[in-house]
Each structure stands twice: as C-alpha cells, then as structure tokens.
Copies of this chain bind each other. A is one copy, B any other.
Amino acid sequence: MQRYFLEETHQDGDQVRLTDVIYHHWITVLRAETGATAEFVDETAQLFHGELSQVTADEATVTLTAVPTPKVELPVHVTIACGLPKQEKAEWITQKATELGVDRIIFFGGDWSVAKWQGNKVDKKLKRLTKIAHGAAEQSHRLRRPIVQYAANLAAVLQEPVDVRLMAYEESAKQGEQSALNQQLQALTPGQRLLTIFGPEGGISPAEVAAAQAAQTTLVGLGPRILRTETAPLYLLSAVSMVLELQQPR
C-alpha cells in the first residue's frame, strides 16, 4: 500500500487536508478516488490508515484511523558521515541507506574529496537529496524520514554528540583487523546513537584518521575486500541490522 508522511501529530478519526505534494502523487499521478486507502505516518511515527473521504479539483481530505505501528526502525539511531562523493553517488547512498534504516546522513568535505559543494549550491543539493530520502522512506515503509546534512569538514562531524563513533578504515581490513566492528555493534543498547565515518573516493587522509582517533573514534574494517565509497555505508547498515535485528530478536 502507498505510504505518505504527514508533518503534524494526529489522532484517530482526524480529518486531514492533503498537502499539495501528496495530492499530486496520490490523486493526480496514481488517480486515487474517494474511498481509496493509503498509509500515513504522523510526526511522532504513529501509523494510520487513511481513507480518501473527499476530492475536488484542487484539494482532498483523508479520514485517519490509528493502527498498531510495526517495528520497522533499527533499534539504534545510525548516522553515516560520508566524505563528499560525486553527485550521482551521493544520491545512491541516500536512497540505499534510507532503505537500510539510516537516521541521518552527513556529507562532509573530506581532505581527499574530489567533489566540492560550492557554498551557494549546498541548499539546492540538500533539497534534492532530502527529496530522495523522503521518497525512499515511503517506498521502504519506514516510520522516520532520514535527515540529510552537509558539513564543511570532518572536524565539524566530530563535534556531533553521539554515543559510539566508528570510522571505516581500509588499512584496518588490510592488516587483518576483523573483530572491532562486531565488538562495537554487540555493545550497543537500544536507543543509542551510532555515528560511522566513511571516506570519499580518494580515501581518508592521515590527518583525518588522527583527528578521529583523538575524538575517541574506533577504526573498523568492513571485511577483507576493498569497498567503494558508496558500498561501504550499505555494508555497515546491513551489518547493524544483522546484529541488532536478526541476531537479537526483539
């Protein structure tokens, strides 16, 4: 069933006028008619079934019925901080990471990032990536929509308050380091905030590794193969799900 996000808090029985964006997609594109149903998620992540009760040429109203909200969010809040990759890859990371349960994505200017986001283009790029995240959240039936942000450099990322901070580091994998990621994930408790840092195509600079370590960041390998910048975050998110959802049934 189609799923849409609402910007406010709602109650069982509420009559809600659809936003222009939802109207356009559901009524204009999908041609929904009176009596059609879709799922709606309010600002508090409460799930509702919504029935289209009134449609005119330019507005529509749904009647909401509160339903039990399934557990579809990762038990921890995962932020991925990705060294600025090329545009197409940023879009891919955003879409796939959303499907895999990410809470927040920060693209940062890495020392070795080839891509640069010029000051006046940051807002435009974030707007586009946010739209991709919202669409992916609807498609994958999430209850939360990830936030997409920009940071000028790693130093700004390291100031984010979190509970556990990891950095995916290729050299760790090359040196045969294999257990740090598992140890860190096993130790997480529900509701904690995990930040994981990934380098851009060019990798992480020695200065960035040193700065991260000085900020209590654990370097972790993601297995013995070399993963591209857009693949590593997907490995991490899948691993979080495997360890915290499939190996520790709630």
Q: Which residues of A contact B (CB under 8 A)?
A: 70-72, 96, 99-101, 139-142, 178-179, 181-182, 221-228, 231, 234-235, 238-239, 241-243, 245-247, 249-250
Contact status of A225 and B99, CB under 8 A, knowing A239-B242, A241-B235, A242-B242: yes
Q: Which 4 A-B pairs have CB atoms at the shortest separation, nearest pair first? A: A238-B238, A223-B241, A72-B224, A235-B238
| Complex alpha-carbon distance, A179 and B247, angstroms | 7
Across the interface, do B239 and A223 meet the contact criterion of CB distance under 8 Å? Answer: no
5 CB < 8 A contacts A-B: A139-B228, A140-B228, A178-B250, A182-B242, A223-B241
Q: Select which of B179, B238, B243 is within 8 A of A249 by beta carbon.
A: B179
Across the interface, do A242 and B243 meet the contact criterion of CB distance under 8 Å? Answer: yes
Q: Select which of B72, B140, B179, B238 is within 8 A of A239 by beta carbon.
A: B238
Across the interface, do B100 and A231 meet the contact criterion of CB distance under 8 Å? Answer: yes
Contact status of A224 and B178, CB under 8 A, knowing A100-B231, A238-B242, A243-B242: no
What residues of B have a CB within 8 angstroms of the CB of A247 in the complex?
A: 182
| Complex alpha-carbon distance, A223 and B140, angstroms | 11
What residues of B have a CB within 8 angstroms of the CB of A241 in the complex?
A: 222-223, 235, 239
Contact status of A223 and B243, CB under 8 A, knowing A100-B231, A231-B99, A235-B238: no
Q: Select which of B139, B181, B227, B249 is within 8 A of A140 by beta carbon.
A: B227
Contact status of A223 and B178, CB under 8 A, knowing A228-B139, A231-B96: no
| Complex alpha-carbon distance, A221 and B226, angstroms | 27
Least distance between A142 CB and chain B CB atoms (Å): 6
Q: Select which of B71, B99, B225, B250 is within 8 A of A72 by beta carbon.
A: B225
